[in-house]
Chain A
Amino acid sequence: MKKEALAPIFVLSLICLFVTGVLSISDMVTRPVIDEASAIRAEEARKEIMPNAGEFMPIYAEGFPNTITEAFEAANNAGYIFIVTAKGYGGNIVIMCGIGPDGRIIKTMTLAEMETRGLSTPVFEMEGEYTGKDKSLEGIDAVTGATITSNAYMGAVRDAFAAFEIVRGMQ
Chain B
Amino acid sequence: MNRLSTLTNGLVKENPVLVSLLGICPVLAVSTQAANAIGMGLATTFVLLGANIAVALLRNVIPDKVRIPCYIVLVAGFVTLAQMVTEAYAYPLYLSLGIFLPLITTNCIILFRAEIFAKKNTVADSAIDALGMGAGFTLAMLAMASIREILGSGTWFGIPLPVLADDNISIFTMAPGGFVIFGILIAIVNKVSKGKAIKKKEFGCAGCPSAANCQKGGAA
Interface set of A (CB-CB < 8 Å, partner B): 7-9, 11-12, 15-16, 19, 22-23, 26-27, 30, 33-34, 37, 116-119
Q: Are B89 and A15 neighbours in the complex by a CB distance under 8 Å?
A: no
A30 to B88, CA, bound (A): 6
A8 to B64, CA, bound (A): 8
A26 to B79, CA, bound (A): 12
CB distance from B33 to the nearest CB of A (A): 10
Stretch with Cβ within 8 A of A (4 or more), from B13-21, B65-73, B203-211: B65-73
Q: Are A8 and B170 neighbours in the complex by a CB distance under 8 Å?
A: no
Q: Are B88 and A19 neighbours in the complex by a CB distance under 8 Å?
A: no
Contacts of B32 in A (CB 8 A): 117
Q: Are B69 and A12 neighbours in the complex by a CB distance under 8 Å?
A: yes
Contacts of B58 in A (CB 8 A): 15
Instruction: Select which of B65, B84, B170 is within 8 A of A118 by beta carbon.
Output: B170
CB distance from B39 to the nearest CB of A (A): 18
Q: Are A12 and B70 neighbours in the complex by a CB distance under 8 Å?
A: yes
Contacts A11-B61, A33-B88 given; indicate if A16 touches B73 (C-beta within 8 A): yes
Q: Are A15 and B84 neighbours in the complex by a CB distance under 8 Å?
A: no
Instruction: Select which of A12, A26, A27, A37 is within 8 A of B66 by beta carbon.
Output: A12
Contacts A8-B63, A19-B73, A27-B84 given; indicate if A37 touches B170 (C-beta within 8 A): no
CB distance from B88 to the nearest CB of A (A): 4
A131 to B152, CA, bound (A): 32
Contacts of A30 in B (CB 8 A): 84-85, 87-88
CB distance from A99 to the nearest CB of B (A): 27
Q: Are B81 and A23 neighbours in the complex by a CB distance under 8 Å?
A: yes
Q: Are B74 and A19 neighbours in the complex by a CB distance under 8 Å?
A: yes
Q: Are B70 and A26 neighbours in the complex by a CB distance under 8 Å?
A: no
Q: Are A118 and B74 neighbours in the complex by a CB distance under 8 Å?
A: no
CB distance from A5 to the nearest CB of B (A): 9
A27 to B152, CA, bound (A): 38
Q: Are A15 and B88 neighbours in the complex by a CB distance under 8 Å?
A: no
Residue of chain A at shortest CB distance from B32:
A117
CB distance from A157 to the nearest CB of B (A): 24
CB distance from A94 to the nearest CB of B (A): 12
What are some 22 contacts across the A-B interface (CB < 8 A)?
Answer: A8-B65, A8-B66, A9-B66, A12-B69, A15-B62, A15-B70, A15-B73, A16-B73, A19-B74, A19-B77, A23-B80, A23-B81, A26-B81, A26-B84, A26-B85, A30-B87, A34-B84, A34-B87, A117-B32, A117-B152, A117-B173, A118-B170
